[in-house]
């Protein structure tokens, strides 16, 4: 993060001094991904200003690392000619990734700025189902004929190397475009110019079908320790390649999805980047399982009421009955609130692990989670009112007394308070640990759950004492 702060300061100074050469120098001095992340800390207008001052080659590389929000802002501000200049510098799979993140009107503008050949290439990838090998492959790869000589292969690579995604692994095909084998670039250097490729190629082919799930594709890379994997159709014709950098993205995406599902978060409603997930999507991804947990708590509540009825003297207490009535609600809510804190904690730990959080964004995170916590609290409070009305109505033979109404009121307020606090605690604890240079994963389930239990007891006993 120190490097990013340094780049940010340098860019800020260069902007103030209107030093175009300095901005271009910074873009060449640092890694593109670091430069892009530092750019993102500025407001959108400044990001656009910096981007316009960059040289075309650097601008195109940096563009691929910007988040979708800034990419969209730049595309909307650019003319068709300017967009085409950027797209001409990108590989087809990068354009596909860009299109996937954009709203329909922006996609139309992108497609309008592309050539007929590029649109054809895009359609060749977009026709495949999401999360399959075909959807993540690149069609900018090196293919050579089996009867080509080493000399012919070297000339072809020299002539078209800028069009290829990578040239370390070369794939050999026949006249029908069927995959026959592969060889490494170094083999062209150690063999004589007249040697035919079919004589030196490796015929032990590791390939995947275009319909294979991306998680299975990632397993191929781990199992066979490869950097490039050819993709074939049902006729064994070579249609694309998948590189190790594509697979890293898949592994991050799949592991994030697994973590979210483990925490009871609907991964389909959550983006891989924390800041690209809207408040409503975050609320929607979490509320279903939390509501189910609260409803399942009816069973716990009823069991405890039955047990209390078996204890002589509890029914006849002249005071303190409100405290006893709060206990089942407290136990149920402690479980639900612990889950809420774990959800928000896991999301923040994951975002920190992927370096998606910058110090300037802490305020945004706090406000976002405060709103999400409020929405969750309101919904769960409503469900709590319904479930308590049902329980007390059945217990009282259809009537609810004043004491029970007070318990419903204050327990509902307690739920709203505890849910909001638990949600904030789950977010803030990993951030605090990161700030003091400790591992954020310390804020794991046991610690979070214990802290939430303490908080639940304090809040609910406090409200119970008010009733008493």
Share of the chain above pLDDT 70, in %: 93
For residue 270, pLDDT over 70 is answered with: no
Q: How far apart are alpha carbons 397 and 307 in whole angstroms?
A: 19
| Every domain of the chain and the residues it spans | 3-126, 141-243, 279-467
Q: Is the dihedral of CA 28, 40, 243, 230 positive or negative?
A: negative
Nearest C-alpha neighbor of 177 from the set 228, 232, 135? 232
CATH code, 3-126? 1.25.60.10
Is residue 220 a contact partner of residue 206, using CB atoms and an 8 Å limit? yes
**Cα–Cα distance measured from residue 180 to residue 148, given in angstroms and rounded to the nearest whole number:** 13
Residues contacting 61, CB < 8 A, separation 6+: 32, 89
- Structure-token pair, residue 91: 């590989």
pLDDT reported for residue 148: 92
Query: pLDDT digit string (tens) for 319-343?
Result: 556 677 788 888 888 888 888 888 8
- The β-bridge partners of 230 are 241
Q: Give the 3-state secondary structure of residue 299.
A: helix
Going from the C-alpha of 447 to that of each of 70, 151, 345, 433, the distances in angstroms are: 37, 65, 11, 13
Residue 267's pLDDT is 65
Question: Dihedral of CA 44/46/47/53: which sign?
Answer: positive
C-alpha span between 195 and 11 (Å, rounded): 53
What is the C-alpha to C-alpha distance for residues 32 and 63, in angstroms, rounded to an integer?
9
> What residues form DSSP beta bridges with 229?
242
Cα–Cα distance measured from residue 8 to residue 43, given in angstroms and rounded to the nearest whole number: 12
Class of domain 279-467: mainly alpha
CATH classification code of 141-243: 3.10.580.10
| Tokens at 377, concatenated | 């609290």
Longest Cα separation, the chain: 103
pLDDT at 273: 67
Q: What is the per-residue pLDDT across 88-126, written as a single tens digit (0 to 9) for each?
A: 888 887 888 888 778 888 888 888 888 888 888 788 788
**For the segment 160-200, what is each residue's pLDDT rounded down to a tens digit?**
777 776 778 889 999 899 999 999 888 998 999 999 999 99
> Residue 271: is its pLDDT beyond 70?
no
Look at residue 163 and give its three-state secondary structure.
helix
Query: Is-contact 301 386, C-beta < 8 A?
Result: no
Phi, psi (degrees; rounded to nearest 5) at 364:
-60, -40
Give the containing element (helix H, strand E) for 230.
strand 228-232
Residue 202, SS3?
strand
Burial tier of 77 (Cβ tally within 10 Å: 0-12, 13-18, 19+):
middle
Q: Exposed e or buried b for every residue in 323-350, given b needs 16+ CB within 10 A?
A: bbbbebbbbbbbbbbbbbbbbbbbbbbb
């Amino acid at each position: 993060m120190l490097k990013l702060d340094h780049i940010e300061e340098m860019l800020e100074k260069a902007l103030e001094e209107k030093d175009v050469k300095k901005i271009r120098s910074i873009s060449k001095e640092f890694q593109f991904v670091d430069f892009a992340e530092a750019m993102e800390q500025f407001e959108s207008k400044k990001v656009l200003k910096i981007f316009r001052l960059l040289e075309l080659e650097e601008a195109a590389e940096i563009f691929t690392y910007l988040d979708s929000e800034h990419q969209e802002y730049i595309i909307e501000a650019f003319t068709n000619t300017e967009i085409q200049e950027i797209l001409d510098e990108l590989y087809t799979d990068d354009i596909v990734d860009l299109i996937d993140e954009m709203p329909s009107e922006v996609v139309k503008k992108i497609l309008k700025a592309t050539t007929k050949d590029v649109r054809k290439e895009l359609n060749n990838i977009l026709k495949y189902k999401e999360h399959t090998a075909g959807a993540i492959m690149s069609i900018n790869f090196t293919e050579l004929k089996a009867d080509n000589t080493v000399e012919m292969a070297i000339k072809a690579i020299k002539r078209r190397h800028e069009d290829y995604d990578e040239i370390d692994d070369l794939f050999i095909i026949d006249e029908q475009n069927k995959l026959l084998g592969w060889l490494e670039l170094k083999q062209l250097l150690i063999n004589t110019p007249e040697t035919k490729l079919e004589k030196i190629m490796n015929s032990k082919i590791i390939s995947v079908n275009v319909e294979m799930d991306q998680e299975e594709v990632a397993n191929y890379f781990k199992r066979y320790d490869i950097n490039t994997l050819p993709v074939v159709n049902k006729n064994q014709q070579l249609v694309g390649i998948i590189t190790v950098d594509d697979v890293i993205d898949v592994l991050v995406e799949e592991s994030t999805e697994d973590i979210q599902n483990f925490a009871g978060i609907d991964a389909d409603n959550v983006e891989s980047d924390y800041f690209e997930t809207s408040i409503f999507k975050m609320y929607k991804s979490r509320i279903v399982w939390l509501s189910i947990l609260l409803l399942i708590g009816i069973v716990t509540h009823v069991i405890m009421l039955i047990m209390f009825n078996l204890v002589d003297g509890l029914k006849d207490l002249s005071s303190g009955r409100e405290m006893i009535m709060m206990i089942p609600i407290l136990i149920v809510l402690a479980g639900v609130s612990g889950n809420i804190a774990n959800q928000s904690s896991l999301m923040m730990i994951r975002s920190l692990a992927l370096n998606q959080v910058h110090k300037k964004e802490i305020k945004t995170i706090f406000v976002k989670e405060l709103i999400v916590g409020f929405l969750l609290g309101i919904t769960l409070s409503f469900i709590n009112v319904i479930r308590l009305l049902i329980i007390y109505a059945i217990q009282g033979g259809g009537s609810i007394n004043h004491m029970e109404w007070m318990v419903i009121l204050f327990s509902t307020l307690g739920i709203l308070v505890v849910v909001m606090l638990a949600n904030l605690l789950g977010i803030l604890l990993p951030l605090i640990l990161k700030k003091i240079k400790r591992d954020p994963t310390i804020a794991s389930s046991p610690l979070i759950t214990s802290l939430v239990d303490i908080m639940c007891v304090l809040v609910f006993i406090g409200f119970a004492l008010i009733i008493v």
